[in-house]
Structure 1
Amino acid sequence: MSGRRAEAERQGRRGETLACWYLWLTGWRILARRQRVGAGEVDVVARKGRTVAFVEVKWRRTAQALDLAIDAHRLRRVARAAEVLAARYAKVGDDIRIDVILIAPGTWPRRIANAWQPGA
């Protein structure tokens, strides 16, 4: 892994840790991190009451860069992975959703709840 790629990986993991802290402080329980399946990867799986969120975390160097950090292609991959993982983490009657948390230095995390709708 190149030095640049390794640094991006470290920053990504740091962003995921910050996202977990943010979720925990706002009442979510972290169920899992970095869940990989053939269909893709989910950065964080969290629960709050009867809602299970499959969370994509994006870290960028600037807040402006966050505006381009997530797109439909990435969300589709998370949604496919969430479909596979839902049986492991959700119970009958739970609401399941895809959330995004955007993080940049010097800013509060920006959370997009229910960022992906089936069929979108």
Structure 2
Amino acid sequence: MQGGTAGQRGREAEALACRYLLQQGLRLLSQNWRCRRGELDLVMLDGDTVVFVEVRYRRHRAWGGAIESIDWRKRQRLVIAAQLFLQREQRWANNPCRFDVVALGHDQATQPPDWIRNAFDS
């Protein structure tokens, strides 16, 4: 993920995060789900729990960690997008839900992603 545009790096990070979570036993429901109020990078199923995954790539740790890059406004947009997803995908509406963050860095070749479950429960 060294070169390319920010968009290309973002897509690569999402693909890496998706592969990692699939290896951990999660099932992909949707990728890059968009609505007028926002976007969900990955929507996955962990057992019976619907997991809304925000993927963050940080080229330099000096710019702050991935979780710190998700401000209050971004969290609100994710929550609204998740609510709209559940309204449109009624079969998942009664399942438990959570928000996870998968953080990737420039050292991805040597370090596994940082998977933060229930990232907004603090």
| TM-score, normalization by structure 1 | 0.83
Cα distance per residue 1:75-110 (max 9 Å; x no partner): 211111000002316535411111111111223211
Cα drift, residue 30 of structure 1: 0.8
Match of 1:26 among 7, 24, 28: 24
Aligned counterpart, 2:100? 99
Taking the TM superposition and a 5 Å limit, the aligned residue runs for 1:1-120 are: 7-67=5-65, 68-87=68-87, 88=89, 91=92, 93-106=94-107, 107-117=111-121
Distance 1:93 1:99 in 2: 19
RMSD, matched Cα: 2.1
Distance 2:62 2:14 in 1: 19
Runs (4 or more) in structure 1 with deviation over 6 Å come to none
Segments of structure 1 that go 5 or more residues without pairing to the other structure are 1-5
What is the aligned length? Answer: 113
| TM-score, normalization by structure 2 | 0.81
Distance 1:93 1:14 in 2: 32
Specify the code of the residue in structure 2 equivalent to 1:80.
I
Conserved 8 A contact 2:27-2:46:
yes
